[in-house]
A and B are shown apart, each in its own frame.
Chain A
Amino acid sequence: MKHESFSVNRIEYLKKRRKNTVTVHVLRIGLLLLALSLWELLAQFNVIDSFITSSPSKIAVTVYKLFAEDSLAYHMGVTLYETMLGFLIAVALGYAVAIMLWWSDTLKRVLEPYIVVLNSLPKIALGPIIIIWCGSGTKAIIFMTVLVSVVVATITMLGGFLATDKNKVLLLRSMGATKVQIMTKLVVPSSVPTFISMLKISIGMAWIGSIMGEYLVSRAGLGYLIVYGGQVFKLDLVMAATVILCVLASLLYGAVALLERKIVK
């Protein structure tokens, strides 16, 4: 479209829209900067006790120190490994179980109450059992991560499978399609949007699982840094690890969102 072909009203409208977007961005960053500088200033002038609240400059120094000691990459790597592995296992397992439940209505009805109970159970309650079964190491953390994410992944995916258009199933059946064909030609491709939301939910759950796991048992990782920092009252370390966690979590969520834009046109 050529610019000169736009009407005056259209140009006005576009200008207004662009202006609005700019305002939102400016305010967004401004809010962050305002909060950070207020925090910093209050700490500098001892209005608040930076021993308890830490401060942006102290957090930055801590992050840099961790980086200089080479322990930043190490702790990040440990947590990222646990989260990703747990996430991938949970997604694969959840998808497979959802397919089984879609396949057999009887199985679905048999397992329904168990899934409901497992879903509402706070997984942290299983902490001691997991430690006894898997030992107090990475295995236990990954197990916890899978446990926290897999039930929601299954339920979400099954919902997507069951929402398949009945008329399209009828159409395929009239062509003489087998159940495997209905699965591969219709149910799987039509549930791609659900699959993406399932990924988004699972990645969030996986973070909960891995950090919770690290609280319980670990000797490394961001969750460990947070717990350790809390125990020795190093609030700078707690805050620094939390900030890094925020960044990592947004990056992974962004990766899933990018995948979404690629797959769903």
Chain B
Amino acid sequence: MKKILELKNVGLTYQTPKDEINAVSGLSFSVNEGEFVSIIGPSGCGKTTVLSMIAGLIPATGGKIEFLAKKERKDCIGYMLQKDQLFPWRTIEKNILLPLEIKKSLTKERKEYANSLLKKYGLYEFKDNYPSELSGGMRQRVALIRTLVFSPDILLLDEPFSAIDYQTRLSVCNDVYSIIKAEHKTAILVTHDISEAISMSDKIVVLTKRPAKVKSEFFPGLSGETPLKRRELPEFSLLFEKIWKELN
């Protein structure tokens, strides 16, 4: 498999008025094309910071982040945040076209592609509705489609399910996973939920406490087709226990 992203000895020290904080140090891992990678670690270890560095929102102060995709970094990365972050004053259609407006690439083909995504994932009939009229799960799907409209290669998911209630979460998790796989995207998921990581990932990167670096890597390779089915496998709980121990 081809590598699409590689972090080499990445470090980050940032300044606050009170202190200098060494958040990340000597962090190295790589992501292959089409792979689903999860990053987990003790809370406050800088998981989100790692995503922000990959997205180019915070420049790393040491090491190197290499992209092996052909496009520019801002066009090859789609960022999905905690909560859907849909704009309440825009309709669903206007919401998903937002990245294209920002990138000034709102062509007819792009718009058609956006609409085809809405159709494919059962949201087309809601395109003129406002976000407040949709359920939490649907809004999350809209948020994912918004990330997909400009055809990024890598999706960065920052605990995208943490704001949803458990019941909905399992099914949204399933939806998002199958959409990402159907669109052949590479994904990096930050989560604090071990079972979510196991059920979705090809590879799990466990980080240490601050300053964060890689503690260990796991390759679940579970056979179930969907995250929900994988949760029923006997290997699932074995792996859960292993990672749980690794984290404590």
Contact = CB atoms under 8 A, between A and B. Distances in A.
Contacts of A192: 89
Interface in B42-101: 55, 57, 74-75, 77, 79, 81-83, 85, 87, 89, 98-99, 101
B85 A167 contact: yes
A174 B98 contact: no
Interface in A185-200: 185-186, 189-190, 192
B1 interface: no
Contact of A168 (B87, B101, B102, B103): B87
A186 B74 contact: no
**Chain B contact residues: helix, strand, loop or mixed:** mixed
Nearest to A172: B102
User: Which of the four size classes fits the interface of chain A?
Assistant: 10 to 19
A13 B79 CA distance: 49
A264 B79 CA distance: 29
A173 interface: yes
Contacts of B85: 165, 167-168, 171
Contacts of A259: none
Contact of B98 (A167, A173, A175, A190): A175
A171 B103 contact: no
Given A170-B57, A170-B81, A175-B74, A181 B87 contact: no
A190 B81 contact: no
Given A186-B87, A190-B89, A192-B89, A176 B102 contact: yes
B165 to A, nearest CB: 20
A175 B103 contact: yes
A190 B156 CA distance: 25
Contacts of A174: 55, 57, 77, 79, 156
Contacts of B81: 167, 170-171
Nearest to A173: B57
A236 B103 CA distance: 66
A177 B98 CA distance: 10
Contacts of A171: 79, 81, 85
B211 to A, nearest CB: 23
Contacts, number: 41
Contacts of B87: 168, 186, 189-190
Given A167-B85, A168-B87, A171-B85, A185 B101 contact: yes
Nearest to B79: A174
A260 to B, nearest CB: 14
A153 B55 CA distance: 38
Contacts of A185: 98, 101-102
A176 B103 contact: yes
Interface string B165-202: 00000000000000000000000000000000000000
Contacts of B79: 170-171, 174-175
Contacts of A177: 102
Contacts of A168: 85, 87
A186 B90 CA distance: 11
A170 B81 CA distance: 9
B72 to A, nearest CB: 9
A181 B101 CA distance: 9
B99 A175 contact: yes
Nearest to B101: A185
7 contacts: A165-B85, A170-B81, A171-B79, A171-B85, A175-B102, A176-B103, A186-B87
Interface of A: 165, 167-168, 170-177, 181, 185-186, 189-190, 192
Nearest 8 interchain pairs by C-beta: A174-B79, A176-B74, A175-B102, A177-B102, A175-B99, A171-B85, A189-B89, A174-B55
Given A185-B98, A185-B102, 17 more contacts: A167-B82, A167-B83, A168-B87, A171-B79, A172-B102, A174-B77, A174-B79, A175-B102, A175-B103, A176-B75, A176-B103, A177-B102, A181-B102, A185-B101, A189-B87, A189-B89, A190-B89
